[in-house]
Amino acid sequence: GYPVHRPVLGFNKTETEETARKIGVSEVTTRKAASCSAAPKKPATKAELEKVKKAEEKLPIERMVEESVKTAKIITV
C-alpha cells in the first residue's frame, strides 16, 4: 500500500465525506469498527495546539516531505 498523508486535512466533515464518495471509499470509511479494540469510544475531534507543536518537533519533517514528493501520485477527483 501507499502512505496517505491526509490530503483532506483542510476539509470540513461534509467536504471529506463528499470526496470519499467521489473516489469510492465512503463505504470503507463509514463502517463501524466493531471488532477493533483499538478504536476509541470517544475519538478526539480537535487537537490541542501545544501538543501538536511538541509532537511535530520530534518528526523528521524535511525527510518526510522529500519522501512524500518522490512517491506522490495525483488523483483527480
More confident residue, 69 or 37: 69
Give the chain's end-to-end CA distance (angstroms, integer): 20
Q: Can you give the pLDDT at residue 62? A: 92
- What is the pTM for the complete model shown? 0.38
Average pLDDT over residues 31-55: 78
Lowest mean pLDDT among 1-5, 13-17, 24-28, 48-52: 1-5
Q: Can you give the pLDDT at residue 72? A: 83
In the three-class reduction of DSSP (H, G, I as helix; E, B as strand; rest coil), residue 61 is classed as helix
Q: What is the DSSP secondary-structure string of 5-38?
A: --TTTT--HHHHHHHHHHTT-HHHHHS--TT-TT
* 35 pLDDT above the threshold of 80: no
Q: CA distances (Å), 25 to each of 20, 45, 54, in order?
A: 5, 21, 32
More confident residue, 25 or 36: 25
